[in-house]
Structure 1
């Protein structure tokens, strides 16, 4: 695969716009590096598009404003800057092209339906203005489309994808820019705080992570030094919280997926965690082939979904009466994050036990998760619901067994469900069976069918 597509020659000395989307870093940024290599002024641009931010979780908005402030500082340190605009992304990018006389727009290729439509429109309208558009890799380790099975357009099952992914040669990393120059007269615009106003300020999860490339790299370094060695043994231990917590950093591109994967691959115990990066790429190549993954069943199963607003609200609030489910849902509320095993458990309860549609789960997670990646969120929800890429769509989820296995001492439950802090032994997993059930904790919404 060429490192970019849709690019033609000409216009060497005209400025190049680098349109940042969810690739908010300066290290290993192919679109930015290619613009610098043209030996012409570079206009780094981010457009705060209400079509996106109006639907984004407050936790993501807060992360984004911090990431943009960090990105502006990094670009200024190299002699450039970050131009911030607010409005429709395509319209504002072309307006900046007119203001600066730019002949090219670079951006990182993405896979969601929204991103695909935005890209098609940008190519079309830019061409009418005589502006070239080039798309580069940078959102995943292996770009969607680079790995294709015989007789198909994408991999539908993870295991063969993983084998192909692991043996595939990854692109080389590119250097961060040392010297940048904005065209004379271009205004960087207002600060990230001003462009967002009150969005992403109040109502945030108390324990959410801060955004930005510096913070992300600090977390990556700490993970490789202190956490990765125990990942294979402890990653499903809910109380241990032994996962990387890098999902939001990857979702916003504050970490390069390729740099992250290379660093983890070189770690003595990194292979198990690198496999999770392959899962991320897997969902992205599925979404590239099936952009409607957020609204339609990937594999229709003719499931008869129920309607129960009270049960749905109880699930959202962590008041289902099933401790392991409520612990996960309350972690989401307090942190804007949920342990991966807990995500599976809470999704199974909603779709398999309450028989409520997976789209309700996708929407609630998307409203709170700081990572909130369309491909991963929707792909995993459909996997659990039996409408996605699971090869065993009728798999049984015994939630009490999951609770006892992955939180055997109940420490995760006690951490997030205060009403059960005094329970001990097996009662913590099924308090309705206790000799004296806690009066302030609800009974289960449904028979778990153990």
Structure 2
């Protein structure tokens, strides 16, 4: 891109460090308009994400002002607002990060058509994943990988792009109206992590020092040795490439999790119906309907403590430990036999890190509907709880009704003496859909 003025449309790359679209525009143009459009069509889906987004935008505005620029804010359709602003200041080009969701791809197609109509250039840049979602193809043919292990091998062997430097300075066109950031919306969860690239970098620095022990700690529910970086990756406060490199061990267990993220992005690129259409043809798509059981699961009142602890952590923090996500998801789909799409919608409402590729891909995997070589695998919630929360501390943290139950007995309160059980304000386990499992007998 060459010329006088360019617009950089921020979407899910809310940072100035290692932002290829911003860096290229600043290198090739005299004036740059950093733009974010608050799209009413995306607002209100998750109060937690709306709040986090507001904090991200405030942080991004401060970072751009430190470079001499500002974040220009508009409300409405992102394509219409981008073209309107570009025409107002005779911009010759628009830069945007590529993305894979059905919404993002439709936005890109419309933006390209409008740029062509108004004789502007449009460039799509990497930055949402480590490796571009369409860059790796299976050797046996096909446009995407359906199994993680061969994808991981190809991903490790791929050439990663170089991180780009933060621009030295950003110069806005004269007379531009930057717009006000609206008042912060209220989130649903009281203990959501703070949004913004600054908070994300602080968390990454802390985690990088602990990352060598990640493989031993990340499944510990009570110890919580996970990175908590997923919200910052979801909004692009942190570059996933920079995160993978900061940890140091490219073939280590944490970077493998980053690769899982890339894996689902390349699936979402090839399968735009990922959030609603099962990837694997089921022998019998026999999901049942039980509104009471579903509500009990969503509210954390199933009577199975580790499941309830996970769901209550979700409500309190807008986040859930990954091991707890697997347990809660398997309980809904394999034990209650309720449709994974209903669980996905609950997670989408609460999760700060909720996005289409990972939320949908993981739900399909745990339900046996996705790309998994063992679709019928189960997660015995008691065995999982006793292994990953052996002292019951995670359960007692989020299920206060059971705070007085000592040790691992907290995982099976229905086996407590009747006199003690009657003192607990805690429900019995939900009835299973099908044969009673051994752990409940």
Coarse TM-score class (shorter-chain normalised): over 0.9
* Partner SS for 1:294: coil
Which of 291, 297, 312 is the equivalent residue of 1:330?
Answer: 312
CA deviations on 1:231-290 (whole Å, 9 max, x unpaired) are 1101111011100000000000000111111111259xx811010000000010000110
Rounded Cα–Cα distance in structure 2 between residues aligned with 1:423 and 1:337: 25
Q: CA deviation at 1:446?
A: 2.1
Residue 380 of structure 1: CA displacement?
A: 0.1
Q: Matched residues in 1 for 2:51 and 2:281: separation?
A: 36
TM-score of the superposed pair, with normalisation by structure 1 = 0.93
> What residue is the counterpart of 1:392 in the other structure?
374
Match status 1:282 vs 2:263: yes
Aligned residue number for residue 427 of structure 2: 442
Gaps of 5+ in 1: 1-8
Q: Is structure 2 residue 275 aligned with structure 1 residue 294?
A: yes
Give the Cα separation in 2 of the matches to 1:166 and 1:238.
Answer: 29
Check the 8 A contact 2:33/2:173 in 1, yes or no.
yes
Q: Which residue of structure 2 lines up, in the alignment, with residue 213 of structure 1?
A: 197
CA shift digits 1:182-216 (9 cap, x unpaired) = 111111111x2x2xx46x32x43121101111111
| 2:76 pairs with 1:87 | yes
Query: Shift of residue 427 of structure 1?
Result: 2.2
Alpha-carbon separation, structure 2, partners of 1:271 and 1:397:
25
Secondary structure of the equivalent of 2:7? Answer: strand
Which residue is equivalent to 1:6?
A: none
Give CA deviations for 1:47-85 in whole Å, capped at 9, x if unaligned.
000111132x11111111111111111111111111000
Number of residue-to-residue matches in the alignment: 430
Q: Deviations over 1:163-191 (max 9, x none)?
A: 1111211000100011111111111111x
Give, in whole Å, the separation in 2 of the partners of 1:298 and 1:186. 47
CA distance in 2, matches of 1:116, 1:257: 20
**1:376 matched to which residue of 2?**
358
Secondary structure at the counterpart of residue 29 of structure 2 = coil
Contact 1:111 1:288 (C-alpha < 8 Å) held by counterparts = yes
TM-score when normalising by structure 2: 0.95
Structure 1 residue 108 displacement after superposition? 0.4
Residue 13 of structure 1: how far off its partner (Å): 2.4
Alignment check: 8 A CA contact 1:294 1:374 kept: yes
Match of 1:342 in 2: 324
Structure 1 residue 240 corresponds to structure 2 residue 223: yes
1:259 aligns with 2:235: no
Which of 45, 59, 63 is the aligned partner of 2:48?
59
Partner of 1:3: none
Contact 1:99 1:186 in 2 (8 A): no
Structure 1: distance between partners of 2:60 and 2:360: 28
Q: Distance in 2 between matches of 1:317 and 1:230?
A: 33
Match of 2:310, SS?
helix
Specify the alignment match of 1:182 in structure 2. 172
Distance 1:433 1:315 in 2: 21
Partners of 1:125 and 1:439 in 2: how far apart?
A: 62
SS at match of 1:45: strand
Tell me whether 1:352 sits opposite 2:334 in the alignment: yes
- Structure 2 unaligned residues grouped into runs of 5+: none
Contact 2:9/2:94 (CA < 8 Å) preserved in 1? yes
Q: Cα offset for 1:426? A: 4.0
Q: CA RMSD, aligned part only? A: 1.3
| Structure-2 change in CA distance of 1:406 and 1:266 (3 Å) | closer
Does residue 158 (structure 1) correspond to residue 148 (structure 2)? The answer is: yes
The match for 1:309 is: 291
2:57 to 60, 65, 68: 68
SS at 1:292's partner residue?
coil
